[in-house]
């Protein structure tokens, strides 16, 4: 007979929910969003390390050094330091927001119910989901190009398809991504564990190929593209903020993965081992390869897919493209599909299961890339490039997510003191439907960030948007929660 009230048990600091009818019948619950059982938390520190290696080695990471030198006025050495420091900094919100996922086995949308409300959690969830769908589309474009070049290296006739071949490659890669995630967390764990050593091997191979054609001394001596005599501080800080924004999205939804970790120690060590060094080394490789590309293929090429496509040997192109496909697949499935899949389910868990949410993510990503796909098919002509979307809209949009990260950390560690009502997160009678403290704490820094765009005096607020947003969001949220608690405390004292 089904129990009526849910029971929560603890085992070695990990909490588990035995759902009763109060939760099972709730409109806020489905099997995919349920807390993981302790026996399902099978990811050790090496699985989490592999997850980060798989997510970090991708085309956008490869191009980061070039973005910082070309757009932020940094030298090559300064750019690489900014990438390293940024990923050490972003470890802080990543590790802290991973804690409740590991302790309670809950995904990101369910954790947000504590700080934004049971229904209110859908607003930051959908903001996060839209960013992820955009990144999904961009990564799928890179993966589709790799498939096109792979098939072109095997079948001579395929090359003549041109843009049509790239679109076919996009659709093949699009379907492959959705298939992996529909199969579940164990499928993702298997993919990341398999791909990590292969991706490291690719990096080493590219480095061996490039190093004889580049002088590191000359590379590091290239002068920065900023006014002569200008202080490096403001340029470095702006670049640092942009690089923190690169993983701003994952610093929110890291519970989607940490809910499978065996322990807090495993999630902490796995992230420390996997993220900063991988990002630094692969971004460094991108700088070296771009510098060497002139001697290697005769022109400057800033993305690895196009660079490898210039290799004359069809065999090596086929091997390299197969590995690039694996690299992009491992990044895309984990970083860009898991989160919106959970986010879309949070809207109506009884109606939207994981399969439906994965398909919805896929179609939104396809819609966002529709313009680029139509260009490749020759159906429209436009000057709007994929690079413009990547460098402007998505990176700028990601920086607005800082307040959510600050609010989540403050809510869990300072307000809730690491104690959540696990069953209550799936019902309507414990947490409010809308937590207006969360929305005010989110809205104020976002409004100030947007207003600062038109003000020279406050342009720093936008330039350092992730830092200012997360700090201000956390402070405002803490203040509002303390003020709200004071009247009840005075009343009980009387």
Per the structure, the complete domain to which residue 227 belongs is given by 43-398
Q: Contact, 353 vs 30, CB < 8 A? A: yes
Tell me the pTM: 0.87
Radius of gyration of the chain (CA): 23
pLDDT of residue 391: 53
Q: Domain for residue 430, yes or no?
A: no
Nearest to 438 by CA among 417, 411, 420: 411
- The b-or-e profile of 149-158 (16+ CB within 10 A means b, else e) is bbbbbeeeeb
pLDDT of residue 124: 94
Q: Domain for residue 169, yes or no?
A: yes
Q: Domain for residue 170, yes or no?
A: yes
pLDDT of residue 56: 86
pLDDT of residue 394: 52
∠ CA 478-479-481, rounded to 5°: 65
pLDDT digits (tens, 9 = 90+) for 278-323: 989 888 888 888 777 777 777 777 777 777 777 777 787 787 788 7
Count of structural domains within the chain:
1
pLDDT of residue 386: 62
Q: Domain for residue 488, yes or no?
A: no
Tokens of 226: 């900023």
The DSSP bridge partners found for residue 17 are 8
pLDDT of residue 455: 74
pLDDT of residue 102: 97
Weakly modelled stretches of the chain, pLDDT under 70: 1-3, 384-399, 486-494
Q: Contact, 462 vs 449, CB < 8 A? A: yes
Q: Domain for residue 26, yes or no?
A: no
Q: Domain for residue 493, yes or no?
A: no
CA–CA gap between residue 176 and residue 180 (Å, rounded): 6
Nearest to 404 by CA among 189, 61, 122: 122
Q: Domain for residue 131, yes or no?
A: yes
Q: Domain for residue 473, yes or no?
A: no
For residue 172, the domain's CATH number is 1.10.4160.10
């Amino acid at each position: 007979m089904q129990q009526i009230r849910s029971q929560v048990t603890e085992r070695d600091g990990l909490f588990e929910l035995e759902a009763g009818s109060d939760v099972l019948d709730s409109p806020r619950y489905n099997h995919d969003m349920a807390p993981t059982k302790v026996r399902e938390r099978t990811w050790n520190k090496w699985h989490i390390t592999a997850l980060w290696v798989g997510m970090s080695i991708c085309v956008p990471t490869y191009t980061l050094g070039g973005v910082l030198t070309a757009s932020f006025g940094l030298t090559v050495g300064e750019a690489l330091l900014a990438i390293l420091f940024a990923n050490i900094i972003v470890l802080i919100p990543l590790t802290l927001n991973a804690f409740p996922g590991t302790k309670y086995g809950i995904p990101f949308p369910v954790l947000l119910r504590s700080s934004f409300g049971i229904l209110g959690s859908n607003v930051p969830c959908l903001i996060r989901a839209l960013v992820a769908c955009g990144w999904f589309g961009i990564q799928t474009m890179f993966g589709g190009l790799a498939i096109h070049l792979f098939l072109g290296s095997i079948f001579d006739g395929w090359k003549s398809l041109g843009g049509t071949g790239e679109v076919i490659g996009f659709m093949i890669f699009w379907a492959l991504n959705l298939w992996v995630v529909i199969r579940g967390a164990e499928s993702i764990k298997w993919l990341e564990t398999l791909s990590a050593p292969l991706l490291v091997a690719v990096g080493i191979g590219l480095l061996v190929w490039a190093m004889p054609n580049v002088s590191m001394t000359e590379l590091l001596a290239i002068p920065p593209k900023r006014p002569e005599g200008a202080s490096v501080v403001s340029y470095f800080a702006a670049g640092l903020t942009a690089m923190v924004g690169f993983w701003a999205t994952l610093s929110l939804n890291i519970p989607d993965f940490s809910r499978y970790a065996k322990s807090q120690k495993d999630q902490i060590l796995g992230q420390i081992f996997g993220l900063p060094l991988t990002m630094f080394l692969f971004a460094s490789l991108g700088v070296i390869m771009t510098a060497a590309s002139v001697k290697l293929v005769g022109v400057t090429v800033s993305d690895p897919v196009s660079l490898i496509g210039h290799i004359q040997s069809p065999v090596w192109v086929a091997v390299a493209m197969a590995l690039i496909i694996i690299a992009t697949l491992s990044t895309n499935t984990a970083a860009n599909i898991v989160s919106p899949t959970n986010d879309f389910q949070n809207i109506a868990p009884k109606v939207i299961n994981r399969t439906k949410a994965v398909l919805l993510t896929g179609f939104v990503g396809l819609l966002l890339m529709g313009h680029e796909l139509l260009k490749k098919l020759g159906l429209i002509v436009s000057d709007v490039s994929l690079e413009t979307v990547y460098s402007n809209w998505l990176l700028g949009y990601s920086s607005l997510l800082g307040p959510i990260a600050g609010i989540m950390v403050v809510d869990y560690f300072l307000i809730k003191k690491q104690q959540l009502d696990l069953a209550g997160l799936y019902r309507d009678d414990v947490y409010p439907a809308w937590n207006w403290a969360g929305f005010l704490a989110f809205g104020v820094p976002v409004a100030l960030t947007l207003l600062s765009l038109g003000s020279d005096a406050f342009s720093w607020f936008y330039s350092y948007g992730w830092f200012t947003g997360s700090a201000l969001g956390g402070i405002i949220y803490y203040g509002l929660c303390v003020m709200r608690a004071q009247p009840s405390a005075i009343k009980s004292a009387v």
